[in-house]
Structure 1
């Protein structure tokens, strides 16, 4: 049988990306592959492992202005080898970035990888015996910049927020309705008042509440050996006290209404609660957070942003764009 024309063992394939000079010279900040489909495994409490479908970005810089391109297939193969065989940890991602740079020796001195996925967690109901799944968006970003390694964990947590101002205004209207329905100077009938409180007339107004989002970026101390995804989420939810629920029976809905009534908060309150919960965590060298309340009162959001306040750390800009 005649050899196939695609038999690469007998042919040398052209590599125009490896041409000695680019048509237009210039160094590039980042070059690589975006939205690579890969599995990612994390190690959680008690050593339990969970795997999710991730989108991966893998980049190096092109420091040589006359070189036309990098070896993108090498980046893919390094990512595939690591994420297909072991959990993602700060240590494994540091090793991955070193492999990026070793495979681009003489071309690059900076490397970056980011993983974006949803982390599924089963959560119990507030009062009933039910439970359900919640998906938390997670982003992990690691950078090796001229020998300096940094790793960031990004999280998003959904919660409910009830406006304190709206609650005060609603209480005033209820007081006014009570004054109208129960005239001054007349004896109060306890049973009549109790029945009145159970009517729509008794609850004349209700405060507005809305689904809200806490977006957090955590600069981790690289010496720790795992990503504290669930622990960080638990800290944030415990601080806010009103995380959105999954399986909900009427008894759970009532418990949720009670939590909202006991935890009235502006976006400023939410941001301060999260900041206090993260401030003293020894695994976190810096953080940026944004509390966004998707207002039901108007079509724009109420937003508060906070950082840990580390010198040279995260910018306090609303998007937390980059270190200062």
Structure 2
């Protein structure tokens, strides 16, 4: 049957005239390339329905436009091309188009000391919108790290001091005896608690951005925190990780401030929001802190 003879119900006028903010599709499976890695992503894509008399949009045109991203390297130009095509195929109907792309990008990360490498997933989201004001882009990534409680560390040190006073009452302390004591559970009677924590970083990209700065965002955050969770490790790496935790004691407030200062140095960031979550090992609830810069809405 000729395509032109098939009925197009969506093109018929509606008797309930009302413009709609967004109409489209959600959860479209789409294989893309991000940081030169294949990613099985999901895509939400749609347009505004600004003609109040139009019954609907052309969903298939959005789907076909989205397919241009399949197996392609994601960059700003590719995203803009898709949104331009969405608007071009909905002239007289829509004044804005937007898409959200989300999934996990898996990055190879080195061990702290040994030559080992391993793979770690980073959940990401990309939000793009094209309207009369131009293109706006937001990038979000989640980074996991270890956080050791400063209060718990201080309490543990106090217990160790008390045990030392009990075990070494004399003024003179034998160096070898003290060395052995420090390496035993008799001496180190308490350790601070730590937990796996996460930081969700959302940045609004500068208008001049060409490449999505996902790797820069991950590296900036992990460097600022100092205790990114590891993949493949040897005992030397585990010891180095213990040292990093001891040198980077932090409440959720400390982590949020570190990240805020670091993201202010990211040249592509026009604005950002931060949320850190410390999955408490002491409590049955989480400790959370948020921060934002140049981001008007809460």
For 2:256, the equivalent position in structure 1 comes to 271
1:118-156 CA deviation, whole Å, 9 max, x = no partner?
A: 111111111222111011111111011334310011010
In structure 2, what is the Cα distance between the partners aligned to 1:172 and 1:114?
Answer: 51
- Equivalence for 1:288: 273
Matches within 5 A, 1:1-324: 8-9=1-2, 12-22=5-15, 24-42=16-34, 44=35, 49-80=36-67, 82-84=68-70, 86-183=72-169, 185-308=170-293, 310=294, 313-315=295-297, 317=298
State the Cα deviation string for residues 5-57 of structure 1 (Å, max 9, x = none). Answer: xxx238722222222114x3322111101010111223x4xxxx222111000
Distance 1:162 1:231 in 2: 25
Find the residue that maps to 1:270 and give its secondary structure: helix
What is the distance in 2 between the residues matched to 1:306 and 1:159? 18
Question: Runs (4+) of structure 1 moved beyond 3 Å?
Answer: none
Contact 2:69–2:78 at 8 Å: present in 1 too?
A: no
Please give the alpha-carbon distance, in whole angstroms, between the structure 2 residues aligned to 1:173 and 1:212.
Answer: 26
Alpha-carbon distance change, 10 to 131 in structure 1, aligned in 2, over 3 angstroms = closer
Contact preservation (8 Å) 2:38, 2:71: no
Change (3 A) 1:260 1:74: same
Mark the CA change 1:19 to 1:116 in structure 2 (over 3 Å): closer, same or farther: same
Note the residue ranges of structure 1 that are not aligned, 5 or more in a row: 1-7, 318-324
Query: 2:32 touches 2:71 (CA, 8 Å); kept in 1?
Result: no
Aligned residue for 1:132, secondary structure, equals: strand
Given the two structures, how large is their TM-score scaled by the length of structure 2? Answer: 0.95
- Aligned partner of 1:3 in structure 2 is none
Cα deviation, 1:166-202, whole Å, max 9, x if unaligned, reads 100110111111111111x342111111111111121
Note if contact 1:90-1:222 (Cα within 8 Å) is conserved in structure 2. no
Residues 33 and 71, structure 2, Cα contact 8 Å, conserved in 1: no
Would the aligned equivalents of 2:138 and 2:202 in 1 still touch at CA under 8 Å? yes
Counterpart-to-counterpart distance in 2, 1:147 and 1:261: 49
Q: Following the alignment from structure 1 to structure 2, what is the Cα–Cα distance between the partners of residues 263 and 78?
A: 47
On the 8 A contact 1:286/1:314 being kept in 2, the answer is no
**Residue pair 1:240, 1:273 contacting (<8 A) in 2 also:** yes
| 1:322 corresponds to | none
Shift of 1:85: 6.1
Residue deviations 1:212-241 (CA, integer Å, cap 9, x gap):
001001111132211011111001100101
Structure 2 residue runs of 5 or longer lacking an equivalent are none
Distance 1:41-1:10 versus aligned 2 partners, 3 A rule:
closer
The count of corresponding residues between Structure 1 and Structure 2 is 298
